[in-house]
Amino acid sequence: MRRHSATCGRKNPSAVVQASHVSHEKPSEAASAHGEARPLSAGKSGPLSGSVRVPGDKSISHRALIFGALSTGTTRIRGLLEAEDVINTARAVTALGAIAEKSGDEWTVKGRGVGGLSQPAGPLDFGNSGTGTRLMMGVVAGHGIAVRMTGDASLSRRPMRRVLGPLKQMGLEIVEDGKETLPLTVRGTQHLVPIVYELPVPSAQVKSAILIAGLHAAGETAVIEKEPTRDHTERMLKYFGAGVRTEVKDGKTHITVTGHAEMEGRDVTVPGDPSSAAFLACAALLVPGSDIIIEGVLVNETRTGLYTTLTEMGGDVTFLNERDEGGEPIADIRVRSSKLKGVRVPAHRAPSMIDEYPVLACVAAFASGDTVMAGLAELKVKESDRLAATADGLSVNGIAASITGDTLVVHGTGKVPGGGTVATHLDHRIAMAFLTMGLASEKPVTVDDTAMIATSFPEFRGLMERLGATYG
């Protein structure tokens, strides 16, 4: 993508929605409890224009709360993503004794220090959040407490084996021996054993859980990556004062954390979530005449695979006003409508854009020629089988797509007939991807439910409509 240091000279009004309070009701659970799906249709839109700011990055929001809890003193967080997944993590750290609360436009966490969290009074409910669950397993591992972890129906189907395996090596106990899905009870220990663990498949969540547990172990704990994954944990641990080093040996990345860490509370500003920005960027590429700016987006290279791919497809994507905040690179992203061509997306790029493949597949439907996306095995174990759900959604809207192993091929024709109803399987990214596609299809695209969008991007519809999108 193009990169420039200056802005385009237009005014950039913020479109962040700041909640005056955080509701304890979970929209997706409230809807499902009453059997109320919330379908929505996206119809052909006029040009999108304007400048907006997407909510804070989900990955960094989770970590800011958790590392604030494991530090001494107070951590102050601005721009925290106030979506269900993150609020569930805030509730969890509070239940463990590190009070997380909002005052004005700032969140504070009263830290208890590494190893200082306490037995919660009841189960920790993570709703739909795999990130919150897996990272918190690393936290609990280093405390002499037993914690019951629960989640919604979707999360309860997701495998936890890959994170439980190494944590058990360090000393974590699963009370229900042999169980690998929620609900389950885990018991930690104040005598964790450090390990050196090579990830069998790329996973930032597994890496992060091990490194967080390693904060509590004697000596050094190391994770070895064959392929780089999101490095927010390493960056933020350093920012909070933990001993972390990263080295490349024989083509592999070794990340080592020193145990019995002492971290201090910090001020954190959470940048805009690139995975949320992806829907706005893709909509602008697809809707003729569009020209938008998305302000203050995280552009860490472990998260920008989608933007690299869109540029290869011929997309007009430019990074503006690049700067560094709190140890993370951010930029304003300008996107203009473009004529696109099919490309081959290499498997090694998957970790840097794993959440964006559904919306990329929708973009590929409008491209000329085939787009081949390899290395997508991880999509089969997300909130839904995203690989199958994406292909099915394309099919019901008149686009041919095929799956072979972990490779998805979308046969782009330059236009999308639309007119279909997409089964979202309670997956927020499937819902948002096809609501993006419908803005440029010949007939409206309908998704069967939107309640779950609140888990990651509650402002999705509002921001899209502010730019000019049409929903109904």
Q: Which residues are catalytic, by number? A: 355
* Cβ 230 vs Cβ 128: under 8 Å: no
Residues 291, 326, 80, 158: what is their CA dihedral angle, to the nearest 10 degrees? 90
Place of tokens 């499902």: 32
Beta bridge partners of 412: 369
Q: What is the distance between the alpha carbons of residues 429 and 447, in angstroms, rounded to a whole number?
A: 11
Q: What is the distance between the alpha carbons of residues 60 and 67, in angstroms, rounded to a whole number?
A: 10
* Cβ 254 vs Cβ 227: under 8 Å: no
Q: What is the distance between the alpha carbons of residues 213 and 186, in angstroms, rounded to a whole number?
A: 13
The residues, ordered by sequence, that sit 6+ positions from 459 with a Cβ below 8 Å of its Cβ are: 15, 16, 17, 54, 55
